[in-house]
Amino acid sequence: MKIGTINVRVSPVSLAVFGAFTLILLIYVFLSGDVTTLYWALPSALLLLIIPAALNYLSQDQYAHLLPVYEQEAKKVGIKQINLGMLSKPVRIEGVVERVYFRYLNRPQYLVADRSGEISVKMFTTPKEDVRKGDIVEVLGSVMKRYVVTGDAIINCVSIKKIDPTRKS
């Protein structure tokens, strides 16, 4: 679904929960004959779709507003150069996607590598492009710790997009 310029996606997990709840609801109404349950259950079922869609829209919108700032301020660095001394600094990296996790939750995590090393890239919303293993990408984001208090440096991704491998950087 598209709202303005933002492509809103509901995760398959949310759709499965909606489907299971609706199926259980319909079975209950059929077996019990209690149609008054539909007065509260149908709006509840719709909220199981509306709330994840609204949250996805809000995060997509926020990232869209952050993108011009990161495009202007992010410095291109090699992955090996990224460390905890760069916390909260905007960075731009280019590399190959070696792994993709949690795509089905609309919160993908990538393992991106260049010739100097590899780094975890976490995105807390759905990317604009469908990025898969083996794609050459440009990542814009800020450096953060893997865990709140401890952990190695990772990138909180604002934008990940495929790039042409033959282009000059």
Hey, what domains does the chain have and what are their CATH numbers? 2-72 (no CATH), 75-162 (2.40.50.140)
Flag residues of the chain having pLDDT under 70. 165-169
Three-class SS string for the chain?
CEECCEECCCCHHHHHHHHHHHHHHHHHHHHHCCHHHHHHHHHHHHHHHHHHHHHHHHHHHHHHHHHHHHHHHCEECCHHHCCHHHECCEEEEEEEEEEEECHHHCCCEEEEEECCEEEEEECCCCCCCCCCCCCEEEEEEEEEECCCCCCCEEEEEEEEEECCCCCCC
The whole model's pTM is what?
0.79
